């Protein structure tokens, strides 16, 4: 399987809906063409799903196809149809993830509770 482009670390709540169910889950990696979701439900490669990703006050939605699924671990999906509004949101999220990766560690960035 050839990956179209790099996936970036990303953590956000998500929902995956198929014909028979809706599952609340988390996104752990994100790219321009898809994402990796933590999920306990196995879905066969090729299954069409709708993915909603919620980050802060934004909600991304796209139809997608399951590329592969690892039972009790997660699945990778490829986005099929992404509306322009959501493409822009995706681009912003990816840029934010890249910026966080390139940020040098600093005591000023350290937060205590």
pLDDT of residue 110: 54
Q: Which candidate, 6, 90, 101, places its Cα nearest to that of 53?
A: 90
Q: Copy the structure tokens of residue 35.
A: 């994402």
Domains observed in the chain: 8-102 (2.40.10.220)
Put simply, whether the predicted model's pTM sits higher than 0.85 gets the answer: no
pLDDT of residue 79: 96
pLDDT of residue 107: 61
pLDDT in tens, the chain (113 residues): 444 567 889 999 999 999 888 999 999 999 999 999 999 888 999 999 999 999 989 999 999 999 999 988 999 999 998 999 999 999 999 988 888 877 666 666 555 55
Instruction: For 4-86, list the strands marked E by DSSP.
Output: 8-18, 21-30, 34-38, 48-55, 58-70, 74-81
């Amino acid at each position: 399987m050839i990956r179209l482009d790099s996936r970036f670390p990303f953590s956000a709540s998500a929902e995956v809906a198929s014909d028979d169910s809706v599952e609340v889950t988390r996104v752990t990696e994100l790219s321009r063409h898809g994402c990796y979701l933590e999920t306990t439900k196995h879905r066969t490669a090729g299954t069409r799903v709708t993915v909603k990703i919620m980050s802060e006050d934004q909600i991304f939605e796209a139809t997608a196809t399951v590329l592969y699924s690892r039972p009790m671990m997660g699945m990778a999906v490829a986005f099929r149809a992404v509306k322009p509004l959501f493409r822009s949101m995706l681009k912003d999220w990816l840029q934010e993830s890249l910026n966080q990766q390139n940020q040098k560690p600093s005591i000023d960035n350290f937060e205590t509770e």
